[in-house]
Chains A and B, each alone.
Chain A
Amino acid sequence: MREQPSGLKTWIFTTDHKKIAVLYLITACVFFFVGLLLATVMRTDQLFPAGSKFLNGELYNVVFTIHGAAMVLFWMIPVLLGFFGNLLIPLMIGARDVAFPRLNALSFWFYLGAGIIAVLGLLLPGRLDFGWTGYPPLSVITNTNTALYVFAVHLLGASSIAGSVNLITTIVTMRAPGMTWGRLNLAVWGIMGASIIQIIGIPVLAAAVTLLLFDKYLGTHFYDASMGGSALLYQNLFWFYAHPAVYVVALPVFGIVSEIISTFSRKPIFGYISMVIAIMVITVLGFEVWIHHLYVAGTANWARVLFMWGTILIGVPTGIKVFNWLATLHKGSIEFSTPMLHALGFISLFTIGGVTGIANGLLGIDIQVHDTHWVVAHFHYVLALSMSMLAIGGIYFWFPKFTGRMCSERLGKIAFWLTIIGALVAFAPQFYLGVKGVPRRYWIIPAEYAGYMRIGSIFSYIAITGFLLSLINFLYSAINGERAPSNPWNSKSLEWQIPSPAPFYNFDKIPVITEGPYEYGKPQGKES
């Protein structure tokens, strides 16, 4: 065992995957906090009737732009791939670090740099106000400092590509002896699928925003219809990545849910093979859905129908996963710990979002609800609320492993109930507004719907309080929590077989794997 160096410089110059994971976690939580703050600002604005609002329309645009970018690009993707990917992959496959430790550190610094640029997008003149999608011609013809947007995406993309190359190489080459593909944790499979999507998708997004930069500053005409270009090209290139980006978040989440549910039901995960196949099918099929963002943009009919089928088909592997989780719970000896509650909360919120997503994917329905509050409600259930909740649950689950301390269960459970109660109602009224055709991104809500929005606002405060309580819990428990035993949840997975916190070099001796990670219920389940 090697001596662990200590001091501040071990954090700044670190190449250790666990430390880098924690750096990712801290930065991502800061952006989560910023995103929640901006959400509070918008929700408070919606409390008041038109005319007495404290934000003006321009500022409102800036707030929802940065809220979206902070939440999707700087909280969810980094916390799932950057934090969970870095922390879990080496521990779960029995390796001492990722394949390229220095590249891993560079990924983090790129991410932090992108974050700095994004925050400047909120503060510097020429604030980003065109939505997190950055559609031309709006992003080209106004005085907005589009360069901030483009470079934030570039740096974040460089971070993600480097990180994904690293994680995939690690999984392919560094599995411990006996760690066959069939014995990998589902979290590893999920992160693998997400990394593949990053590898294929991000370059296309990078190309899209690069052309935006050229159009704005160098006089090209990629997106200028008057010069033979096409603004729709941007939408196509953008959503080619930005829709699969949902699965970049979702696939690791699916893996983590499986870990938590199997552990706290004391049962092997139901249908391991079908889970793996579902992850890989989603990885591939995720690239055959993006046109559903362009149903009403004048897309050819054959493309709309083709992509409608893709959109609906992707519900099948997703549904398989939900049923497998329920089957795992069935007749399990369930323990309602904080992580487990979060996993169950995730399933309920995700199902609401998923079912409305199928409806949203149908061409006829989408034409009515496109760009309305329905869409806002749908993606907040399917992506924002459910997956943030699960990310928090995952942090609760592995907290002992990376801090060496237990999280407060009591505070965690209070935080969970606040979050779930708030989350279930916060966006429900917006489904109704959407069906009525109230467009999203408008600063003013029509007076007859103000009451509905007010209910949503009040419950969103409850959910935000829940999330903030969890963040406070993490901070508090990291300093004052009880010392954690090596395996507080009695998990069979490899990362719980080493001391907590995971020692500097992970494994004293590289383990030889003889069983899969979910071998519960055996009389003498051995784990190396």
Chain B
Amino acid sequence: MNNKGQAVHGGGIKHHELELSGWPLVVGIGSLLVPFAFMAHFSWHQTFPGIFLAGVALLVLLIGLFGWTSQIYSKELDVGLSKVAIIIFICSEAALFGGLFGGYIYNMLPMEIWPPITTPEGVPPLGLPLFLTVILLSSSATIYKAEQDLEDDEMGSFIGWLLFTLILGILFLLGQAREWYHLIEKGFTVSTDEYGTFFYLITGFHGSHVLVGVVLQLFILLLGFSGKIDKDKSTILKATGYYWHFVDIVWLLVLSLIYIVPYRG
């Protein structure tokens, strides 16, 4: 790690290339609008302004992130610091899921019957989740293959494998959505009981992480099509790869704790 730091300075790279950037402020404003959109609907019962504000917030956030990333890819050199940063960030994410799983176990352990008797028959299902496991695990392998191809400068193959990963990720999300839809039809919702509450919470948090991964992959794919990514600018792909593997590991925990432990045959 130390060598890397020395390379940053010693290589004569001006790390701090830019003096001014308005994009952080734009993203900050967008993020500040989200709470107000939420409160407009839930606290002040003004649904239309709430939806309007949410739209504005999303737009501002998208503009901010787009401006930010285009600034990155227009002039800066890739010195690979994000690889360290993403590992630290993943530790943070691990703590988040640790808290959620901790809460789930905290509620489950004192119970004699889990899930509670109020949970409808046939919940949790196991067939579809197992299929989704296969999909997600394979996508970890395909993104690794994409990384290798980028290292070897095989751009065509890299884009192919990344596209494949992206499709697997979207398939996973569709499968999860289908499962939620069926369960809600069966009358199993967040308000059913403790199990329902935690079921949707944890699968939902995990699903949102898959969504972030898919968006990142889509973004890299666009970079790939426009030729802005190559073997010397591969940090974003590596970082996304680490993140994707992490989401994969979390899924294994979701599968075992949320689906297999309460499974009633």
Which residues of chain A have a CB within 8 Å of any CB of chain B? 2, 5, 9-10, 12-16, 95-97, 99-103, 105-106, 108-110, 112-113, 116-117, 126, 145, 147-148, 151, 154-155, 158, 161, 164-166, 168-169, 172-177, 180, 199-204, 206-208, 211, 214, 217-222, 227-230, 233, 236-237, 240, 505, 510
Contacts and interface: CB of A to CB of B under 8 A. Distances in A.
Interface centre among B16, B25, B91 (most CB of A within 10 A): B16
Nearest to B6: A177
Given A117-B35, A203-B96, A219-B190, A177 B25 contact: no
Contacts of A147: 35, 38-39, 42-43
Interface residues of B, number: 57
16 contacts: A13-B25, A15-B19, A15-B24, A102-B18, A145-B43, A147-B39, A147-B43, A148-B39, A154-B35, A207-B99, A207-B103, A220-B197, A221-B197, A233-B106, A237-B102, A510-B9
A400 to B, nearest CB: 23
B20 A203 contact: no
Interface string B30-59: 011011001100110000000000000000
B197 A222 contact: yes
A240 B98 CA distance: 11
Interface string B1-32: 11011101110000110111111110111011
Contacts of A228: 107, 111, 116, 193-194
A204 B106 contact: no
A175 B5 CA distance: 6
Nearest to B194: A228
A201 B99 CA distance: 9
A298 to B, nearest CB: 12
B246 interface: no
Contacts of B10: 177, 510
B95 interface: yes
A50 B99 CA distance: 43
Contacts of B256: none
A510 B18 CA distance: 18
A113 B5 contact: no
B230 to A, nearest CB: 22
B27 A106 contact: yes
Contacts of B201: 211, 214, 220, 222
Contacts of A207: 96, 99-100, 103
A169 B18 contact: no
Nearest to B20: A13
A204 B31 contact: no
B24 A105 contact: yes
B81 interface: yes
Among all A-B residue pairs, the 3 with the closest Cβ atoms: A109-B28, A203-B96, A151-B35
Contact of A105 (B21, B93, B198): B21
A10 B19 contact: yes
B99 to A, nearest CB: 4
Interface stretch (B82-90, B152-160, B180-188, B220-228): B82-90
A237 B99 contact: yes
Given A173-B8, A203-B92, 20 more contacts: A5-B20, A10-B19, A13-B21, A100-B85, A110-B31, A145-B39, A151-B38, A161-B89, A164-B88, A166-B85, A169-B88, A173-B5, A201-B95, A204-B102, A207-B99, A207-B100, A208-B99, A211-B201, A228-B193, A237-B102
Contacts of A236: 102, 106
B74 interface: no
Nearest to B79: A173
B191 interface: yes
Contacts of A175: 2, 5
B35 A217 contact: no
B164 interface: no
B259 interface: no
Contacts of A151: 34-35, 38-39
Contacts of A97: 15-16
Given A112-B28, A173-B5, A14 B85 contact: no
B112 to A, nearest CB: 12
B68 interface: yes
A498 B251 CA distance: 51
A335 B166 CA distance: 64
Nearest to B34: A151
A177 B19 CA distance: 24
A286 to B, nearest CB: 13
B209 to A, nearest CB: 12
Contacts of B22: 12-13
B19 A16 contact: yes
Contact of A116 (B2, B5, B32, B93): B32
A96 B191 contact: no
Given A5-B19, A199-B88, A106 B100 contact: no
Given A168-B88, A169-B88, A103 B24 contact: yes
A169 B85 contact: yes
Contact of A202 (B85, B92, B111, B198): B92
Contacts of B102: 204, 236-237
Interface centre among B21, B22, B93, B103 (most CB of A within 10 A): B103
B194 A229 contact: yes
Contact of A15 (B21, B28, B98, B197): B21
Contacts of B89: 161, 165, 199
